[in-house]
Structure 1
Amino acid sequence: MGKVVLVTGVARPLGARFARRVRREPGVGRVVGVDAHPPPGPLGDAEFVRADIRQPAIGKVLAEHAVDTVVHMDLHGTGLTPGGGGRGAVKETNVIGTMQLLGACQKAPSVSRLVIKSTTSVYGSAPRDPAVFDEATPARSLPGGGFAKDAVEVEGYVRGFARRRPDVAVTVLRFAHILGPAAESPLAAYFSLPVLPTVLGYDPRLQFVHDDDVMEALCLAAAEPRAGFLNAGTFNIAGGGVLPLSQCARRLGRPTVPTLLPAIRWGGGALRAVGLADFSPEQLRLLTHGRVVATGHAREVLGFTPGRTTAQTLEAFARYRGPGVLPPAKLAQAVDRFARLLPGKPVPSAQAAGAGYEKEVRRDG
């Protein structure tokens, strides 16, 4: 009959999309989507079971459906749950929900594979961080709160589960910031603002991953290992190359307002209060110091290569969100006209300069 895959967090767009996607994978006979709230739309051939992973009843779902593969996607960085509630409800789902799910998996003899959707935020963002984090690099400054702290706790519980159930293949995917139509993240909300407040004197380096690549990485981790590749382990997942925040703003057509850090903290609290953006301490550290991770381990051991670079992911996100206040094409034309009026040497066009930067990013990636 094929594998039975249980997907948590299908009330979120990304979880619902994965439930539909994995059902089409060869060897998958049944997909059970689980959440405490109904999904936003149909799950295709996947079956929806209304169950709260924070409750012991999740164990009955595993047993009744003889689940052999669990893909845990009910980990979220946004400040609201699908059914309402603030940061406290999100933390309870992230941490307590994961503990309850792992306890149920430990007691379920049918479970043979566990995939966890985690985040590169577990590395933190600090001024003395290494230029590039790999999976074995310890964080210089552990996250003190928010989603990053939740993810650190979750990964600790997952390591404990792996020791207690060595017969289960456990895969942890640490995703860079996800951008795309199904993405729900504080950074996506930040990039959607008409004007981007930045920290004065800093231009952090950032990486992104497209939600299409998120689907492919999750499917690969949930599948049986291919010859020469091992699915178990911890892997960084990010698009190739990096972009500084200033370049991101220009490509999105968003003007920036360099601001002192205390003022951003104050203004960020106001934006968070009205639900426009989440300027948590974790987010502010990212916008100050940035974060870059190595992805060679995923390519060599998991066999995953992203289909889009960081720059291409941002470009796709910009098309989806629509033009900003300063569309890049019009801005480039204005810069070219101004440059032609200046005396002295000819200045290369903004379009040519952008192409040169793209080449540099691809080389560095």
Structure 2
Amino acid sequence: MSEFSLNTRFERALKGESLDIIPVCSVTQTGIVELMEMTGAYWPRANYDSHKMAALALAGHEIAGFENVRCPFCTTVLAETLGCTVDEGSVDIQPYVTDFPCTKKGDVKEISVPGSLLESRRIAAVLDAVEIMKTKVGKDVPVVAGLVGPAGLASMLAGMKNYLMWFVTNPDVVEELMGTLTEVCIEYANGLLERGADAVVLIDSEAGPDIIAPQMFETSVFPLHRKFCREVPGLKILHMCGDATAVLDPLADAGFEGISIEEKVDVGFAKGIVGNRVRLIGNVSPSDTLLTKGPEEVVIEARACLEDGIDILAPGCGLAPHTPLKNIKALFRARDEYCSL
């Protein structure tokens, strides 16, 4: 019998405390078509209906085996709430932004924190799903909820072209926008925790060095991440797509308990940068390995992550919808074999 419950193990892993075995989780999206077929909870409805969302998220734990439950499955919840036009997608395509409310610099001043933010359609569905999930799994299984961070939201509301241009020509404009969006993120994250989430994941890939210069991150985004961490209690994780190596040092001091990294980041090298300041989560490739290769290749890559010192074994980013279930299960085989040595 395991020494700890899944929730206790997850929390201890994020706090750098001693463990019986390394957790295998997903702090990014877990909706795959095989699970949709098994539960009858298909996209796009499972992105909008709280009961379908909860059913598909629970399947990630109950069927796929992840040692946590995670929702939502898309990144448009806050964007649509704040005025973006969103296409709902399909069974294997996530919702995506098609039009932006901040196409001119003057539009930024029109963006504010809605007075009924937590009652809006998209957010209310996620909050209800979190409560359903927590009621179902109880205190022994961690419930993880994701939300897009201020930089990611700014790129959605302004469009990537404006977002990048304003960083160079009008940094005060993009900083004003991100400042408002940080307040939105804080209110939403606290709402998620109040409804039963054990941890929140701030997804802010557009703040990473693949998109903006590390100096821009440290000047304009890092203070907002610190503010988020100060004002949101509980466990907090930052997910950043791409090669986040150049900003890992400041990120380790932002106040997050964990950083979720893609396979582009060398785990061993990253551990040398962050030391004991923060825990690393990842970083088996969701596209090059989990989607397209077989279980044996998954085991090999997962084993390398474990040997390099990953703190929580996980996909490096959200799962592609057609990821084979057998490849997810191979993550547990790799962990069990490694931890039995």
Q: What interval of TM-score do these two structures reach, taking the shorter chain for normalisation?
A: 0.3 to 0.5
Structure of larger gyration radius: 1
TM-score, normalised to structure 2's length? Answer: 0.35
TM-score, normalised to structure 1's length? Answer: 0.33
More strand by share: 1
Which one has more relative contact order, counting CA pairs under 8 Å at least 6 apart? Answer: 2
More helix by share: 2
